[in-house]
Structure 1
């Protein structure tokens, strides 16, 4: 839906009975309030008031009342809630009582960053690749850490018991207007991966948020527990949220390299947000997860891998699914823009003869990541100190 009028017409034509106004706190945790259709015009024009007293990352600001204004472009029909009239979901922007944007709205932060990118003549698309585990629930419906299967990388049924639910997830996402691209069994017992098509950074972040919610709902409906934590099993591979950056084939190569160099220069400062919980750091350096600040054409498991056949595309492999995609995409794009502004030179790629002992590493724990963030002048120039403190 591109306009308010189109959205209101859709409500009437498609017998919409219920509307979920979705928003996200600064940690990327989904929240919502449900309204009836007759309240939507007010929500679109004035916003719906919410009390943020019990939402820590939003109550940190002064005042407890914020207002949600839905974005018509994010409308999706919820396929599993359509027995008696349709239910739709809308992602909201968050505003203060005086009508100003909330400084703690990650989606707004990304939108502002994208405006800056356009002004700098920078255009790119992003896509995500999510890893997650499927565990069994017990007879009482409680979550366990017993894997759904004991299959290995890219196995097929009957060893791969997640094939059907992955298909259901992808078909449901497609019904909702999202763009999954591929799905398969990952290397861990009960571990799966679903990848998305490339899209605008804002759409990619919206889809990443909705994706995790859909997976959890469909898993639970099938007696399963979907675990997106970075290290669910001590002796198993961790879960990553790899981010693929795509530039135009005609983009200046030096500009792309400076963008990558900017990310590498600022990655230690950003890691607190890309890997926000203690368990995030148990994943680094194990089972093909990166821990050195390097890039490569040849080795696909380094921090940044550049596609040797399509050098306008590269993948960042350190983030995990616990991050807030809005905030992380914003920071990564700003880091790349800073690299371009400084005209940074991309150092030589990792080679087979490199001495890893001489290469800088990602923070080894959350305490180190916090120290890197709170003491970094570049990060402090774009992120309020209070926000860094929230992630401590």
Structure 2
């Protein structure tokens, strides 16, 4: 039985803290850019964290609040308790819980908390009779560190797609990462070497969208920490090396009804897609340019989103090829019917990215948007005339264009909420302006001695 005002789930966490000899708790949340933040407290403060919350200075967090309104409160979600897997044998354990951020002036959820924004999207889906499932496919690079422990861009292997050792020298690292993730409650489906040297992918199972976003944030932390134990640097930067494939985070989405049926499946349809699935897909296509600002949020993201490196830039869908923005993967069972948005990359804030995808798709369903026909040819081989003939647009070619699209799209802006939309646009506009006035090494190499 729980003690005092504690719920059963909270009491179970206190019992697990004692059983696992946990000394410290990391109370985790993200800023609007997706950077994981945490406040560490002694484990003896766990009950206080549940009953009163833990206060922190929100003015120090990107996009949160101004200095004159800085007190914020963390409310731990007991369902996210997990012991961190990278302690040494002689250390007591540390654990993490993911938190919701509370506005202390009102006692309400803070509108600038990305997790709250995703919860609002899921609430909209619930009101329409749906739950949302999602599964990401995050890719990352492993690089050597120099003698001072700083990251290089030297890969530690020369493997390619699905290669085995000895070419895939990082197989032991991936194994340790998988063990670490499983110890934290992840169900890992598969892992493999990706196309580029030093590039890897680890997939975990479909889950509800909130758990999936929590898992992505945790995944990045675990991968970095365990790679560091092997003297390697793991990066989720979309395009760390020029002229090779970048890292994406293809995201699979589906809606389920209240009776547990997959709302995206229709066995009578040529592609086994229901009307809801088609309308959801149409919503994603309609709002794709604005979604791109959130799902591909860095200047570097657009070095990946170029033709020729398996990255989707063409706003279309297909049931059979990967040149389109959205793919309908083959499904072995009705429950597995889903759509795959292929543009997101792993630098995005997973809460915000999923939130805007969900709102865009639901908007498609609410407005009964008509889904175009699938493009079954390789769009990479189309010239501009043929793309115009098929009515295929392209995603924004840079961060500035994506931010412009976001500002013009009321649906995606409203999905973020006024606070985050304003702060996100401000931060990303500044990032793009700084990029525009910088001079790259490429420019120096090409022009310095020529002109």
Structure 1 residue runs of 4 or more that deviate by more than 6 Å after TM superposition = none
Q: CA deviation at 1:6?
A: 1.2
Higher-Rg member (1/2)? 2
More displaced stretch, 327-336 vs 107-116: 107-116
For 1:330 and 1:29, the matched residues in 2 are separated by 17
Q: CA deviation at 1:47?
A: 1.2
Q: Would the aligned equivalents of 1:305 and 1:315 in 2 still touch at CA under 8 Å? A: yes
1:316 aligns with 2:352: no
1:372 aligns with 2:377: no
Q: 2:350 aligns with which of 296, 316, 325?
A: 325
Q: Would the aligned equivalents of 2:318 and 2:376 in 1 still touch at CA under 8 Å? A: yes
Q: 1:359 aligns with which of 369, 392, 395?
A: 392
Q: CA deviation at 1:390?
A: 3.3
Q: Would the aligned equivalents of 2:399 and 2:428 in 1 still touch at CA under 8 Å? A: no
Q: 2:328 aligns with which of 306, 309, 312?
A: 306
TM-score w.r.t. length of structure 1: 0.95
Give 2:428's aligned residue. 391
Matched positions, count: 392
Q: Would the aligned equivalents of 2:141 and 2:198 in 1 still touch at CA under 8 Å? A: yes
Q: 2:202 aligns with which of 186, 194, 203?
A: 194
1:58 aligns with 2:64: yes
Q: Could you give the per-residue CA deviations for residues 184-243 of structure 1, whole angstroms, max 9, x where no partner exists?
A: 011111111111110000111111100000110111111111111111101211110110
Q: 2:32 aligns with which of 26, 29, 52?
A: 26
CA RMSD of aligned residues (A): 1.8
SS of the aligned residue for 1:238 comes to coil
Unmatched runs of 5 consecutive residues or more in structure 1: none
SS of the aligned residue for 1:294 comes to strand
Give 1:216's aligned residue. 224
More displaced stretch, 128-137 vs 248-257: 248-257
Q: Could you give the per-residue CA deviations for residues 135-154 of structure 1, whole angstroms, max 9, x where no partner exists?
A: 10112212111011111111
Change in CA separation of 1:204 and 1:95 when aligned onto 2, cut-off 3 Å: same
Q: Could you give the per-residue CA deviations for residues 52-80 of structure 1, whole angstroms, max 9, x where no partner exists?
A: 23323213586111111111000001122
For 1:61 and 1:181, the matched residues in 2 are separated by 44
For 1:47 and 1:119, the matched residues in 2 are separated by 29
Give 1:232's aligned residue. 240
Give 2:186's aligned residue. 178
Q: CA deviation at 1:247?
A: 4.2
More displaced stretch, 52-61 vs 337-346: 52-61
Change in CA separation of 1:391 and 1:44 when aligned onto 2, cut-off 3 Å: farther
Q: 1:79 aligns with which of 76, 81, 85?
A: 85
Q: 1:207 aligns with which of 208, 215, 220?
A: 215
Give 2:445's aligned residue. none
Give 1:289's aligned residue. 311
Q: Would the aligned equivalents of 1:50 and 1:67 in 2 still touch at CA under 8 Å? A: yes
Change in CA separation of 1:250 and 1:179 when aligned onto 2, cut-off 3 Å: closer
Q: Would the aligned equivalents of 2:86 and 2:225 in 1 still touch at CA under 8 Å? A: no
Give 1:272's aligned residue. 293
TM-score w.r.t. length of structure 2: 0.83
Give 2:165's aligned residue. 157
1:94 aligns with 2:101: yes
More displaced stretch, 184-193 vs 294-303: 294-303
Q: Could you give the per-residue CA deviations for residues 162-202 of structure 1, whole angstroms, max 9, x where no partner exists?
A: 11111111111001111221110111111111111100001
Q: Could you give the per-residue CA deviations for residues 7-40 of structure 1, whole angstroms, max 9, x where no partner exists?
A: 1222223322111111111111011111112212
